[in-house]
Amino acid sequence: MGLIATIGKKEKKEIPSLAELIAKGNHKTMRNVLITGGAGFIGSHVVRLFCRNYPDYQIYNLDKLTYAGNLENLADVAADCPNYHFIKGDICDLEHMRRIFADHRIDGVIHLAAESHVDRSIRDPFAFAQTNVLGTLSLLQAAREAWAEDMNGKLFYHVSTDEVYGSLHDPGTFFVETTAYDPQSPYSASKASSDHFVRAFGNTYGLPIVVSNCSNNYGPNQFPEKLIPLFINNIRHGKPLPVYGTGENVRDWLYVIDHARAIDTIFHRGRVGETYNIGGFNEWRNIDLIRVMIRTADRLLGNPEGHSEGLITYVQDRAGHDKRYAIDSTKLHEELGWEPSLQFEEGIEKTIRWYLDNQQWLDHITSGAYERYYAEMYGDK
């Protein structure tokens, strides 16, 4: 059954899922899909999956190419996939968003573009409000205007985070889709606000929307300010491994390609207006995760067992550091049949191997060479 959504103040309309529209024969398969933040970590895996799995789609990767956006992540796609198109742009630029929707007849959006690093949000909360809130609002407005005459078969898919739910303290409890929002950092507050705007556009204007909230991702191409790639690189070079507090904070980890698979599933089969949590039931204390990485990296590097244990360095805890995140993705599994494909031990070994085998990629990131290259290629526009 479709969701009962409020259109305007009084009229109620049943909005079916995308799959139901296709089954009824009154929906043309989406052809022009805009993926925002597609040069980033998660976005690049989503772009690759869509370009390769749906060759009849035209995939438009919109990215501002800030420090976290790197087109090297998609070099294979750019070379092999004629349905891939890159657009440099800022989601906060409403006029540019309007032109993109008009020029490319966009009928599906997967919105991943966001500032996402908690430490950066503590230093500069305004940048997070600008991109994550006003940027999302700009995209929503452009979609609403472009689809005003016919929203049939359109979809605005907003990708969010489990951090909007706050922090769990009781063992055995999990975030579910109805968990009350309780953001604890400027980053999570900005994402919570953007989630509210997306749902408000669905309720107020009848915009076909869907939202997902995912746990921590890991895997290839993650920017090395994040814990796993940072520590792999530091282990390789014998640098300190800075651990916040005592390392007792707990996170639920998901291999990034499994997240991309979940996004694909929700985009094509999710019910319009719904929220889906994505997680792997895979909780680790930070300190335990770090020790697994040390053992695995040392083995792959040919180091003696325990060689890098001495690199662990405990540092002052992060302000407002959430104690525990844990996602219950039962709804996604029971309704749409998605489940993770990798166990963590297998996924972390694949991830460490990738970073060790792609040192040039890491060197380009840590040196800033890629940013200088894009500045010369695209300028400041």
Active-site pick, 63, 107, 163, 252: 163
Q: Which two tokens stand for residue 365?
A: 């990131």
Report the percent of the chain where pLDDT is more than 90. Answer: 72
Contact assessment for residue 249 and residue 298, using Cβ atoms and an 8 Å cutoff: no
pLDDT tens digit sequence for 295-318: 999 999 999 998 999 999 999 887
* φ/ψ of residue 38, rounded to 5: -75, -10
Round to whole Å and give the CA distance between 222 and 219.
7
Active-site pick, 60, 187, 355, 374: 187
> CB-based contacts of 227: which residues, under 8 Å, 6+ apart?
286, 289
For residue 373, indicate whether it is catalytic. Answer: no
Give the per-residue pLDDT at 176: 96
Report the percent of the chain where pLDDT is more than 70. Answer: 88
For residue 187, indicate whether it is catalytic. Answer: yes
Tell me the CB-side half-sphere exposure of residue 273, using CA atoms within 13 A: 18
| C-alpha pair distances (Å), 372 with each of 65, 141, 282, 333, 344 | 11, 33, 38, 43, 35
Q: Is 176 left (phi over 0), alpha (psi -120 to 50) or beta?
A: beta
Give the per-residue pLDDT at 4: 26
Average pLDDT over the chain, rounded to an integer: 89
Active-site pick, 72, 162, 258, 283: 162
CA-based max dimension of the chain: 69
The helix or strand, by DSSP H or E, that contains position 214, with its residue range, turns out to be: strand 209-214
